[in-house]
Amino acid sequence: MSVQFGKCNLDGKPVDPRDLDRVRSVVTPYGPDGEGYLCRENFGILYRAFHTTKESRNEVQPRVSGSGAVMTWDGRLDNREDIIGQLHGKVSADSTDLEIATAAYEQHGIDFLARLIGDWALSVWNPKDHSIILAKDLVGTRHLYYSVENDHVTWCTILDPLVLFANHSLRLEEEYLAGWLSFFPAPHLTPYVGIHSVPPSCFVRLGKGTHRLSKYWDFDPAKRIRYRDDVQYEEHFRTVFAQSVRRRLRSDGPVLAELSGGMDSSSIVCMADALISNGVADTSHLDTISYYDDSEPGWNERPYFSKVEEKRARTGCHIDAGSHELSLSGDRQFLATPASGRHTSATAQKFAECLLLRGSRAILSGTGGDEVMGGVPTPIPELEDLLARARFGRLAHQLKLWALEKRVPWFHLLSETLRAFLPPHWTRVQVHRQPAPWLNQGFVKRNRVVLQGYGGRSKLFGPLPNFQENLSALSALQRQFGCDPAPKEPLYEKRYPYLDRDLMEFIYAIPREQIVRPGQRRSLMRRSLVGLVPGEILNRKRKAFVVRAHIDAISKQWTGVMKICDQMMSSSLNVVDANRFREALQLGLHDPHFPIVSVLRTLNIELWLRSICEQGIANGFASPNSDGLSRPLEEHPHKLISATKVG
């Protein structure tokens, strides 16, 4: 993924080239393949390239259009052929993604954003009205941050320069921390007040006196795809899934695919092999990387990913994930977010070695398969749809079938279906969304909605409940991607076939009973991929997840963890109750329901707070505490370095 940094003075004053020069050392490690630079009038931009396709190597960025607009692009345009056809000879098959996107902007204006399918982030400077447009793709796998001051706006595809070179002391965004401690924060947030993230499927227009956020595209709840029989659904799925994988195989080097042994990653690898074998993929070689842990009870993926390797007659890179290390030491390197910690474990080092040895810059991931393809075999969305459409006969029939499958009384399923339409505070079934018990009660009260996952109830009228559930699952993924740090050391670009817009449009438009059926988890995938994916994979049960290794890592560093609990910065900020956190650790390590994810995130927050405090990055929350006062970091015993500017 390439990186861009830009600045525009809204008062019309010229941009000082030194403002671009001083960020060069920060952005260069993310873009080792060359630099683009433009600084004129009140606008300046610095671009560093990281190439993953043959077309990208011909890009000259930023690109100045015939009208004088300046576009800078980080991404992969998947529907190149379609847009080229719409532009009637203005670009060709040899044109770069940037050239195609620029020509589309020249022809269609801001409406061009809705036509772009792929993973991308872009900026457009319009010299006619001196405005800036910042936009991101549907899912938000690329980052794009911006900060608006009284007289200028700065933006970047990584967060670091906006934080390190702020000309004022920063305040922490409490809602972001609450989101990080639960189900990830809203995608427009960053940890810092005044620094924003462009939300997925949205664009921001910035100019003198203008700061407007708009959504340029969304799924159509009225779209329906109905066929006469299962075969037609299966054929359509194979077509859009193959297209999605083929799009993500566009690379001028070998592609690496994560192969866990589950249905999601195995299906991607098998489909990619078929496309390469048929000569319709833009790469000639696909390698795999697999993780195993022979010591983890109930988590043995080796037999399953070995079946895929046996089918493709090629062994991939195998990494032992059994040894987890918990880094509790301070890190002098700047950490922009709680997720930005350096990965120095043996597992991370082996991954880096594998990536560099194979020369891969693109990685295929099965993330999103569960959320899109019905990985959780619940009947509730289907039953909600039947209830909303008043199809009571069909509802009674499906209740009976699902009750037999789940081995529960049918009225229990009906009760659960009805509860989905009620406000959460009317029900008592939200146990899995309860905040961690060691969080400060005032913090919980102020951020309850966030800590419960931004959840709501299904609406009886309007879009079908299943469609609402699909958008909710996508929103959770968007929040997760918003927290992922940009890869560094080594650099790579991750690609997600299950999050292709055309594939998701198809899945969202077909009946729920095609996705999941009683006794048939992932029914459509299983039926469609027979003969392509080994039967052992298609017929396996849900995968287990590693838990014990993380608990063991805490046990091995127990003294260090307890030392952290003795003087927690998150406690001085009234986020965590240190005593209750310590008690939870002492009582819970042998509890099979120990909330290990919440524990690890709490430790991440604590270590990150210490890091930014020691470097003087921020000085407290902007949100008021219960006493109406903002709690500054200066109250913590750690020395706070004065930081109006770093660098």
Domain boundaries, the chain: 3-215, 230-373+476-538, 380-462, 548-635
Asked whether the beta carbons of 382 and 464 are under 8 A apart, the reply is: no
Strand partners, 136: 121
- CB 370: neighbour CB atoms within 10 A? 19
Look at residue 643 in the predicted model and tell me its pLDDT.
29
When the candidates are 3.60.20.10, 3.10.20.30, 3.30.450.20, 2.40.30.10, the CATH number that belongs to 3-215 is 3.60.20.10
Look at residue 629 in the predicted model and tell me its pLDDT.
38
* Token pair belonging to 546: 């590693």
State how far the Cα of 503 lies from the Cα of 54, in Å rounded to an integer: 25
Mean pLDDT by 10 residues, the chain (647 residues): 93 93 95 95 95 94 95 96 94 95 96 97 92 96 94 95 88 94 94 96 93 96 96 98 98 94 95 96 92 75 92 93 67 79 74 92 96 88 92 94 92 90 62 79 92 82 92 94 90 97 98 91 94 92 64 81 90 93 84 82 91 79 48 38 28
Asked whether the beta carbons of 129 and 207 are under 8 A apart, the reply is: yes
Look at residue 103 in the predicted model and tell me its pLDDT.
97
State how far the Cα of 5 lies from the Cα of 155, in Å rounded to an integer: 6
> Domain 230-373+476-538 carries which CATH code?
3.40.50.620
To the nearest 10°, report the CA torsion of 296, 302, 303, 305: 140
Look at residue 645 in the predicted model and tell me its pLDDT.
29
Alpha-helical runs (H) found in 420-510: 441-446, 448-451, 465-483, 501-509
Backbone angles phi, psi at 103, to 5 degrees: -65, -35
Look at residue 323 in the predicted model and tell me its pLDDT.
66
Look at residue 395 in the predicted model and tell me its pLDDT.
94
Look at residue 545 in the predicted model and tell me its pLDDT.
57
Q: Could you tell me whether strands 255-258 and 362-364 are parallel, antiparallel, or unpaired per DSSP bridges?
A: parallel
Look at residue 342 in the predicted model and tell me its pLDDT.
54
Intra-chain end-to-end CA distance of the chain, in Å = 24
Task: Report the length, in residues, of the chain.
Answer: 647
Following DSSP, what letter does each residue of 253-315 receive, concatenated?
S-EEEE--SSHHHHHHHHHHHHHHHTT-SS-S-EEEEEEE-TTSTT---HHHHHHHHHHHT--
- CB 195: neighbour CB atoms within 10 A? 22
Strand partners, 44: 7, 39
Reference 342, options 355, 354, 331, 328; nearest CA is 331
One fold for both 3-215 and 230-373+476-538? no
pTM of this structure: 0.92
